[in-house]
Amino acid sequence: MSESGTAQSQPKGSLSVLDQLKNYTVVVADTGDFHSIKQYEPRDATTNPSLILKSACDAQYSDLVDEVVFNANKEGVTDGEAVMDSLLVKFGVSILEIVPGRVSTEVDARLSFDIKSSLEKARSLIARYESLGYDRDRVLIKLATTWEGVEVSRVLEKEGIHCNMTLLFSMAQAVACAEANSKLISPFVGRILDWFREKTGEEYEGDKDPGVLSVTEIYNYYKKFGYPTEVMAASFRNTNEIKELVGCDLMTIGPKFLEEMQNDFAEIPEKLNVETSRESDATRMDMNESTFRYLMNQDEMAHFKLAEGIRKFSNDVESLGNLLNEKLSKIS
């Protein structure tokens, strides 16, 4: 029986889609919900301001949030935004107690165009993890893929602080990250699909999905030219998108689709692999700041979705700060 009480039809000796996927791709949980992470046994987990805000508003995590706020107040901290880093790391540490691999913790999206402040924030987050006994190799610092974010990643990687480049919608962004030696990129599948659906009024399925096509193009480019940067497909709208990207280095997937794949026993073939990528018709691109900015300006979808994503994450950071301020005021 499933958790919902519905009997699942499981062919004898077969593997679920989720278990098959794990044979080709590292599965990452895209959630701040510890219970979901335990249930689906991913290797890594990712968080972002929206997910942390959602979890912070969830009654089952109220004790965790209250503990962070209480300790901050005891130390004389009176500003919710000053408490935020402690909360982000508290969620991250709780996740690291569950997963064997890495957790991604995001730099404040409002710093997406500020190299100096982003570097300071990233180093501060890593220092917090290390002070609690967690090696920096188990933490990925998430940065929006602006040109400034790419430059921050270039510096941090040289310091042994690994980066997860998020809000990535274009080949220009992907190439810039690879040349900066970023550890990992998170190309957004579903948000690309959203834009094309709204723009054209059309539906896209299977390997015609523009988000799937974007990740496939990036994966092939990286593998053909030998870039070690990991490709982690993100932001899915349905499990068919996931099935079209089987073989991608990693995929970060929300609990809804993890459950759906756990209860699906269809056979899924590998779609992406290094051997076929080497035979692709990808041509090498040279990337610098002026080229990056020009190509982003010319790419209507990527330009819009990057700006939209930064705005949304920034708004959620502010909402989280307001929530923490409210909690602080009640114990002051």
Residue 86 contacts residue 68 (beta carbons within 8 Å): yes
For residue 246, is it within any domain? yes
Question: Taking residues 90-99, what's their average pLDDT?
Answer: 96
Residue-wise pLDDT tens digits, 143-197: 999 999 999 999 999 999 999 999 999 999 999 999 999 999 999 999 999 999 9
Flag whether 5 is in a domain: no
Neighbours of 229 (CB within 10 A): 23
Q: What integer best gives the mean pLDDT of the chain? A: 94
135 falls within a domain: yes
Tokens of 302: 């990527």
Q: pLDDT per residue over 11-31, tens digit each?
A: 645 899 999 999 999 999 999
Angle at alpha carbon of residue 143, lines to 135 and 49, rounded to 5°: 90
Distances (CA, A) of 76 to 69, 86, 328: 11, 14, 11
CATH number at residue 290: 3.20.20.70
Whether residue 332 lies inside any domain: the answer is: no
User: Model's pTM, two decimal places?
Assistant: 0.93
Is 159 within the bounds of a domain? yes
Note the pLDDT of residue 129: 97
- Whether residue 330 lies inside any domain: the answer is no
Give the CA dihedral 227, 228, 233, 234, nearest 10 degrees: -110
User: C-alpha distances in angstroms, 21 versus 202, 214, 234, 252, 269?
Assistant: 29, 20, 15, 12, 9
68 has pLDDT over 80 = yes
* Residue range(s) defining the domain that contains residue 59: 17-325
Q: Is residue 199 part of a domain?
A: yes
Higher pLDDT, 188 or 332: 188
Nearest alpha carbon to residue 194 among 232, 230, 241:
241
| pLDDT tens digits, 247-257 | 999 999 999 99
Average pLDDT over residues 284-310: 98
State residue 13's pLDDT score.
53
User: Is the Cβ–Cβ distance between 16 and 261 less than 8 Å?
Assistant: yes
Active site residues: 142
Residue 3 lies inside a defined structural domain of this protein: no
Q: Which of 40, 161, 19 is nearest to 95 (CA)?
A: 40
Tell me how many domains the chain contains.
1
